Amino acid sequence: MHTENTIAVEINITAKDTEGTVRQIQDVIGGNIEERWGEFTLTVNNLNAHGTIRFITFDWGVNLLEYDIIFHKEVVLIMDASAYNPIHFAYCLEGHCGHRFGYQNEIHTLEQFQSVIITSRDGGYNYGYFPKEEKLEINIIQIARKKYLKKRLNNVSQLNEKLYRVFMDEDHEKAFAYFGTYNLKLADKIGALRKIKQKGMIRILQIEGMIYQILSIHIQQHDRAMKEEVLSTTLLKRELKLIRNLAKNIIKDVAKDYSLEQLSEETGLPQAKLQEGFKLLYARTVTEYIRHVRLEAARDLIRTTDMNISEIVYSIGFSSRSYFSKIFKDKYDISPNDFKNKVELPTEEFVTLTT
């Protein structure tokens, strides 16, 4: 990614927070920053870069920093960790980038779809390497430890020993880096975060809730790795992407009559690899996944439409209402009819009170 012969744009970051970091990037690459409801967006469209960098600072010690940008020159961020040194939970949804600590010579690559956790030691430096002419979609959740630990609900004692020490290292005495395996659950969550359409306070609240979920997936993956529970896989990144796209297509058309043989032909993947991929990404077999998304679709239809249960059953690809009722109750611990009555009840009460 970075070679001695390449002339890179170096950006020195001495800021004490995320906002200062983005403003120092702006000083070098240009662009304009706009703010709405505490969400700041740097928009750049010049010879240096094209795209956006956005950030949100929450009062519980967490910041969201997202790159959606193409740099037209190789960029190196030189970040002074003595001024601002959060724990970085990083994920490349698109593209890749590099990192090294100041005391290292080797650059470690943050691959697409890889969960990465990094923090430097006090007085140290982080070097971030961004390639030129490559579409980058990078999600970084930053945790300022002292502020985060003051929040009453943040019980870090539940973390595994290594992460616990990282969170409790308020004086930033040690560096830490974890480069995990591919995690496409994070891709789905971060993709959903980027698609939030609401505005104002509702938008910020939804983003905040999604950040909790993304953080939990990062932490769960690290926890499994420390317990050596990470599933080994023979699947290539290209094959995992095929399986992820297949899963998305199933959600879009839940009523289609799927078979393992047909899905294997469609993707060009052997049936065994399909099963391995679904178990790795969704903790379900292909059949279990199809049943799961159909039930989720049914629950949404019960909530949002006037269709009766029989109409819903056939619209999601089931042929037996009794079978549907059984697996619905097994999954949600309530029958479809009782769930429908429960959903309708508040509306009926409202009408009675207002007439």
Q: Which residues contact 10 (CB under 8 A, 6 or more apart)?
A: 75, 76, 78
Number of residues that make up the chain: 355
Read off the pLDDT band of 232 (50, 70, 90). low
Residue pair 26/40 in contact (Cβ under 8 Å)? The answer is no
Q: Residue 94 pLDDT more than 80?
A: yes
Residue pair 72/132 in contact (Cβ under 8 Å)? The answer is yes
Q: Residue 139 pLDDT more than 80?
A: yes
Question: What span, in angstroms and rounded, lies between the C-alpha atoms of 143 and 64?
Answer: 9
pLDDT of residue 119: 94
Q: Quick one: tokens of 3?
A: 């070679």
pLDDT of residue 347: 43
Question: What span, in angstroms and rounded, lies between the C-alpha atoms of 203 and 216?
Answer: 20
pLDDT of residue 315: 94
What order do you get walking across the sheet with 62-71 strand by strand?
Answer: 32-36, 39-45, 49-57, 62-71, 135-143, 87-94, 114-119, 176-182
Residue pair 169/89 in contact (Cβ under 8 Å)? The answer is no
pTM of the model: 0.74
Tell me which DSSP letter residue 191 carries. H
